[in-house]
Amino acid sequence: MSAPSGAPFNAQFNLPVRVYYQDTDAGGVVFHARYLDFMERARTELLNARGFDLARFADESRILFMVHGITVRYHRPARLNDLLVATARAASLGPASVEFEQRVERGPDLLVEGRVRLALVDRDRQRPVRMPAVLRQILETSG
């Protein structure tokens, strides 16, 4: 389960995320769907940190990541101006898919945890596509 270099497969990426008014709702806390935005940011920055540019990938290979399924549990609410950490870790890889394990934390507190399953699909025909080796290697290796 580890890459040839010995780097652990399950290396986790941590992204600081600030809560702004735009993320909150009239209940005084972060709106539940906004945590999925925070998680998307963490997944993208995990890839950026490993030299993988999603936008160039979509342009050059015509391959998109499509979210296939999500499971999220909410434990504690985040509030305006909180400084959070959104984490991302590629927990399992399929031939044409990846499942990320993600959390949103505030200091020692786990606020939200989720699993996000993404499929690689051809941009034009929306059909599953085998994961390119370069992407597989990146998801198996820490930055």
Active site members: 25
Q: Which residues pair with 67 in a beta bridge?
A: 118
Tokens of 96: 């044409």
How far, rounded to the nearest angstrom, does the alpha carbon of residue 112 sit from its chain's CA centroid? 13
Nearer to a second copy, 8 or 77 (CB): 77
Q: Which residues contact 4 (CB under 8 A, 6 or more apart)?
A: none
* Site map 74..103 versus a second copy, x via CB under 8 A: x--x-xxxx---------------------
Taking CB under 8 A as the binding criterion, the range among 14-22, 86-94, 99-107, 133-141 that sits at the site for a second copy is 14-22
The span from the CA of 50 to the CA of 4, in Å, is 16
* Chain residues in the site for a second copy (CB under 8 A): 18, 20-22, 24-29, 31-34, 36-37, 40-41, 44-45, 48, 53-56, 58, 64, 66-74, 77, 79-82, 123, 126
